[in-house]
Structure formats: C-alpha cells, structure tokens
Amino acid sequence: MNGQTSQNEIQVESTPKHIAIIMDGNGRWAQQRGLPRLLGHKAGTKNVRKIIAACIERGVRVLTLFAFSTENWMRPFDEVRGLMYLLGEYIDRETPHLHRMGVQIRHLGRKEGLSPGLQRKIRNAVELTKENSAITVCVALNYGGRNEIIHAIRTMVGKGIPLEEINEETFAAHLCTKDIPNPDLVIRTSGETRLSNFLIWETAYSEFWFTPIFWPDFTHKYLDQAIQDYASRQRRFGSVSVANRANGTAA
C-alpha cells in the first residue's frame, strides 16, 4: 500500500477474486540458514494459514496454492517422502482450524500417484469443508498444467464429443478448475519468473507479480504490495481500454 490508499479502498475497488501462488524458495530459505531443505518446507507450511487468513480479510474469494507439481517427483527420494509426510501432517493438523475459519478446501491435480493414506486425508478434508464459503482454497498437489490438458483431451475423446462441439468453453469444462474463476493474479516468490507448468490454460489473461522474497518470509505486507500493484494495472483481455474504445484508438 502507498499510505494514501486505505485497505478498505483496495478491498472495494481492486481486490483480485482469485489469487494463485507459486510458493517457491523453501529450499534456499533453509540453505541460507544452514538447515536441511525439509525444514524450509516445514517453515513454508507454517506460513500457509496466515496467508489464507490475510486473503479472507482482504475479500479474496479463491486462493490456489501450488504445493507439489507432477515434476516434483524427480526430486531426491528423501525430499519427496518428507514433503508428502509434511502435507499429510498439515492436512491432519490444519483442517479443523481451516474449517472453523470457513475455508472450503479443494484439490487440483491427480489423486492417483499419491499414497492411499494421503488420498483419504484429501477426500476427508474436501468433504468436511465443502459447504464453507469464507474462501475457497485450492491445493494443487500432484498437479501439472500439461498433464491437466492431456487429461481433459482424453476425457473428451473418451466421451466421443464431436469435433464441432469442441471449443474453449467445452474444453475448460473438462479441466479440474472447471467451476472456479481463472486466476486474476499469480504471485511467485523467490525471484524466479516462470510459470513452471502451473495453471497454464487458466492464466492466459492473469496478471503476474514476482518477488525475491522466499515463501517462508512472505507476509501479508507482500500480499498487500501484490494486490496494490494489481490494482494499478489495466486489464484489457486483448481488447482496448474503455477510453480508447470511445475515441477509436487501439491500446
């Protein structure tokens, strides 16, 4: 915030409905402190509830968190095992709190490939919180954008959908994001400036905000910076601005 715009103004005028976050930099956060990478992931998990609460306060309706990609299986076995353990533990410990906060938990990605125990925990958390409406938190876990697109194509072909019925709408209806709005704002922490196979269809017209801050250090202060920056942007979705539409000039 710039000190002149109140929190309330940001909420009313320019809050993104859907924020998606690539929570990057846990490993480097740990390495900088001489700690094992897994402790960086542990610190990262501690940050999640605070950022969910901050999003609720700011009127964000959907928050998507990239927790584990289809490519993350290539990490060393011990790190993958540790991450899976942390995620299971997180669901056990945090679901009751999130439920009380009114969070609806959703899962994006393939459940196949996850352990039966983790699949069960995810299913239970989704079922328990399905009527909640303070915010929808989508956890992308064993998620990859390309994998998601291939899965949608296979489903459509399997259903025998005729060629002439294949369009952007029918295709999007076969993605796991089918009933959630596209992200307005994508945040990536840690200084990397790429999408890494995250929501590649859904982010076609998203705004992007990058910060060098590692995920465990990402606080509501940075969330506000991202939202304020988002509020200053002009989203034209390939069209022209309203002013230019009136005077006939292209933006």
Tokens describing residue 174 = 């076969």
User: In the complex, what is the shortest distance from the CB of residue 190 to ligand FPP, in angstroms, rounded to a whole number?
Assistant: 6
**Catalytic annotation, pick one of 2, 47, 72, 224:** 72
Active site includes 132? Answer: no
Beginning with the edge strand found earlier in the chain, give each strand of the sheet holding 18-22 in spatial order: 103-108, 135-143, 62-69, 18-22, 185-188, 207-210
Binding pattern to ligand FPP, positions 98-137, x when CB under 6 A? ----------------------------------------
Helical (H) or strand (E) element with 245? helix 242-247
Active site includes 2? Answer: no
Tokens describing residue 137 = 């938190």
- Region from 38-46, 124-132, 146-154, 199-207 binding ligand FPP, contact rule CB under 6 A: 38-46
Torsion sign over Cα 98, 102, 108, 112 = positive
Q: Which of 72, 132, 147, 196 binds ligand FPP (CB under 6 A)?
A: 72
Contact between residue 63 and residue 132 where contact means Cβ atoms under 8 Å apart: no
3-state secondary structure 121-179: HHHHHHHHCCCCCCEEEEEEEEECHHHHHHHHHHHHHHCCCCHHHCCHHHHHCCCCCCC
| Window 181-240: residues binding ligand FPP (CB under 6 A) | 190, 215
User: In the complex, what is the shortest distance from the CB of residue 166 to ligand FPP, in angstroms, rounded to a whole number?
Assistant: 33
Residues that bind ligand FPP (rule: CB under 6 A) add up to a total of 19
| Window 6-25: residues binding ligand FPP (CB under 6 A) | 23-25
Residues that bind ligand FPP (CB under 6 A): 23-28, 41, 44-45, 48, 65, 67, 72, 86-87, 90, 139, 190, 215
Which positions are annotated as active-site residues? 24, 72
